Amino acid sequence: MNRLSPEPMATLRAAADDPVAYSQTWKATHEGSVIGSFPMNFPSELVHAAGALPVLIQESRAPITEGRNLLAEFYCGYTRSVADQAALGQLDVFDAIVAADHCVQLLGAVDVIRWARPEKPVHFAQLTSAMDDAWTRPRVAGRIGEIVAEIETALGVSITADALSTSIRTFNANRRLLREFFELRRSGRLRITASDMQVLVKSSMVMDVAEHTAVLERLLDEIDPAEDGGLDAVKLYLSGHFCHAPRPELLDVIEATGVTVVDDDLYTGYRYISTDVPEDGDPFEALSSWYLERNLNAPCPTRVTTQVDWDRYLVDQIARSNANGVIVLMAKFCEPHMLYYPELRKALESNKIPSLLIETEHEGNPVETLRTRVETFVERIRRQHVPALS
């Protein structure tokens, strides 16, 4: 079966593992600015169109030290890590920081940055989470206009429609390539481990998009289209985990039980690259369309809509990927996910889809306990749902 070529993967892994170092190098070589943004709905195309490097701020793997006193323990690991990074000066590489989502915990992290780095331009534009109202689209367009003005002021440039159209096409091309990897994994023609898939997507959140696209093209060039994998392991779908990537060691433990992850709706996964920005018409308006369509393509419990349900979507996607079960990864204390989970569970149970909930933490994920839980879950699937695999 096809596998990803190690050398290009090493380039992507280096950027994904240390976005701050990547940003520092990019800044020095391009003599340009770097703008940090927050998940999950910031349109990076705007920063690119302004000639700067857009970088989605990632959770650091380092234990939390300075930030321990700045946000309470019941904030999610991502926001506590961001607070820690701000207090330690690790976000200083960013010339400005922008946010478009309004999770209460994220707001806490933004407040810590403002407190710890008062000189840093930090802009918060709340893209409305009510998706179906008459005022939704104009309000979203207004917020995007505010982000444009903020970036222009921070960088002393203006974002033209032509530049934005070019950036939209560039990011769409990158997303299309990433979706090819998802399709190759889903079809079984390419073996991509869950942690390698995280590298592919996470690196796209932090790297120069043209450089990232070139590496993806190299990876695809080295895949033999005639090769057919023929997966015979238990196939799993991974769901959830907002705002930051699950730890690779956790994903490796899951796959070490002899299962293959075939698809996901993780934020650092399909959710991030699900939707392209329309390439015709006014490019600023197109970003509003992207924001609204994104929630239809991969429904998110942080948005309010009557048009789609995450539970219905999840059941359909699991069927589409021929997965035998789903592992829901939930960042501890992630309120939107916790509140929605009972609905998900009800839908999975009524559709007889085996599921396992795993809560993740910034520190102290008990790997051995996790291994036992996943092994038991997989054994249950083997016995009840795919006896041919027992």
Name which of 148 and 300 has its Cβ closer to ligand SF4: 300
Segment holding 202, helix H or strand E: helix 194-206
Name which of 315 and 334 has its Cβ closer to ligand SF4: 334
Name which of 239 and 302 has its Cβ closer to ligand SF4: 302
Name which of 21 and 304 has its Cβ closer to ligand SF4: 304
Q: How far apart are the first and last CA of the chain?
A: 22
SS3 74: coil
- Residue 291 exposure: Cα atoms within 13 Å on the Cβ side: 33
Beta bridge partners of 115: none
- Please give the structure tokens belonging to residue 88: 């330690």
- Please give the structure tokens belonging to residue 346: 């009800």
Instruction: List the alpha helices (DSSP H) in 50-193.
Output: 77-87, 104-116, 136-155, 161-187
Distance between CA atoms of residues 351 and 341, nearest Å: 15
Which residues touch 335 (CB under 8 Å, ≥6 apart)? 103, 104, 105
Nearest-approach distance from CB 79 to ligand SF4, in angstroms: 5
User: Beta strands of the chain (E only): which ranges?
Assistant: 2-3, 34-37, 53-56, 96-99, 122-124, 190-191, 234-240, 259-264, 325-331, 355-360
Nearest-approach distance from CB 308 to ligand SF4, in angstroms: 18
Using rule CB under 6 A, residue 242 touches ligand SF4: yes
Kindly write out the interface string for residues 333-372 of this chain, putting x where it contacts ligand SF4 by CB under 6 A and - elsewhere. Answer: -xxx------------------------------------
Burial 67-90 (b: 16+ CB within 10 A, else e): beebbeeebbbbbbbbbbbbbbeb
Q: Which of 190, 216, 243, 356 binds ligand SF4 (CB under 6 A)?
A: 243
Nearest-approach distance from CB 232 to ligand SF4, in angstroms: 35
Nearest to 260 by CA among 235, 237, 231, 229: 235
Name which of 264 and 276 has its Cβ closer to ligand SF4: 264
Question: How far is the CA of 11 from the CAs of 16, 17, 70, 203, 218, in angstroms?
Answer: 9, 10, 34, 9, 11
Nearest-approach distance from CB 340 to ligand SF4, in angstroms: 11
Name which of 67 and 325 has its Cβ closer to ligand SF4: 67
What is the number of residues in the chain? Answer: 390
Name which of 99 and 314 has its Cβ closer to ligand SF4: 99
Nearest-approach distance from CB 243 to ligand SF4, in angstroms: 3
- Interface residues for ligand SF4 in 320-339 (CB under 6 A)? 331, 334-336
Which residues touch 132 (CB under 8 Å, ≥6 apart)? 304, 305, 306, 307
Nearest-approach distance from CB 267 to ligand SF4, in angstroms: 8
Q: Which of 106, 122, 206, 259 binds ligand SF4 (CB under 6 A)?
A: 106
Cβ pair 242, 336 in contact under 8 A: yes
Nearest-approach distance from CB 97 to ligand SF4, in angstroms: 14
Nearest-approach distance from CB 186 to ligand SF4, in angstroms: 26
Name which of 148 and 331 has its Cβ closer to ligand SF4: 331
Name which of 235 and 303 has its Cβ closer to ligand SF4: 303
Kindly write out the interface string for residues 264-303 of this chain, putting x where it contacts ligand SF4 by CB under 6 A and - elsewhere. Answer: --------------------------------------x-
Kindly write out the interface string for residues 63-102 of this chain, putting x where it contacts ligand SF4 by CB under 6 A and - elsewhere. Answer: -------------x-xx-----------------------
- Please give the structure tokens belonging to residue 219: 């990876």
Beta bridge partners of 34: 53
How many chain residues bind ligand SF4 (CB under 6 A)? 13
Name which of 186 and 337 has its Cβ closer to ligand SF4: 337
- Residues lying near ligand SF4 in the complex (CB under 6 A) are found at 76, 78-79, 103, 105-106, 242-243, 302, 331, 334-336
